[in-house]
Amino acid sequence: MNNRVTLTRFIIEQQANVPDASGTFTMLLSNIVTACKEIAQKVNRGQLIGVLGSAGSENVQGEVQKKLDIITNDIMVNSLNWTGHLAGMASEENDEFISIPPQYKKGKYLAVFDPLDGSSNIDVNLAVGTIFSILRCREGVEPEEGDFLRKGTEQVCAGFVIYGPSTMMVLTTGNGVNGFTLDQGIGEFILTHPNMRIPEETSEFAINMSNQRFWETPVQRYIDECLQGTEGVRGKDFNMRWVASFVAEAYRILTRGGVFLYPWDNRDPKKPAKLRLLYEANPMAFIIEQAGGLCSTGRERILDIKPSGVHQRVPVILGSKNEVQRIVDYHLQS
């Protein structure tokens, strides 16, 4: 127990392998960790402190905000805007990107985040989380929206925290994926899941079946084959999962394999996809690929997409390599 590796130690040891490291990134990540610990405390106490329920407002996507959507967004912004490590931020809950207040020093990084993913679950006590990504910024400039619109391949770091039976942070800096569990007794994240890898094969899929009638033919074909089980062309039974929390779905895939689909559909022509590229799909794609999985829209690799706006939406298909490749092949054949 005395040899347990804390997240702080892990980051510092990783930094030692980078000859020109200044420590700025390490301190920025430490600030994000502190914000997520505070969010974990708010989520955990819930109704006890009166933070559940609707806030009676909508975000830029037209989604009804929960009280905790606003609270967690404020926690992230107020934990990062004064540090001197960031040039700007972008959040699901803000219409435009967030500038650093003029009284604070500006840094060389940009942070983008979904402060409370799966917030529709919060009132029924199911898993929710925080997703974040770090990008480099041009030094010595006041960032513009275009500075945030970078391909996922340019991410410096991506991670998510899941607030479930235990609080866990999953993190990549481009050298594999590691998972850390929050030890509430000492207030530290401890390395518990080193070098996480996704099995290439799976018999589990996650999708919102209520949207089935709106899917494209390739997705219809794939799900139909899964549902046919041992009597169908796949020759095996599949299990279906759906939590309506991206972090929960991704964590399950990281720990035991599977495939997650939130595909393109024609339900609403104005919103052909659900998940946002910059602060949801890109961070998850970076993590999943670093763990040996695949991530695609069905027609292109997610990490290769050049964003057109801070809140751009994209179809997302990710998870075990062979299953995702099968779905991509079905799209290419259509």
Residues making up the binding site for substrate: 117-120, 208, 274
Distance CA 334, CA 321 (A): 20
Report helix, strand or coil for 46.
Answer: helix
Closest among 160, 158, 153 to 173, alpha carbons compared: 158
Compute CA distances 163 → 204, 219, 304, 307, whole Å: 23, 30, 30, 29
Bridge partners, residue 178, by sequence: 171
Residues making up the binding site for Mg(2+): 92, 114, 116-117, 280
- CA dihedral (139, 142, 144, 149) in degrees, to 10, reads 20
Bridge partners, residue 159, by sequence: 132, 171
Bridge partners, residue 15, by sequence: none
Residues making up the binding site: 92, 114, 116-120, 208, 274, 280
Compute CA distances 182 → 1, 45, 185, 258, whole Å: 15, 16, 9, 25
Residue 52 phi/psi, 5-degree rounding, is: -90, 165
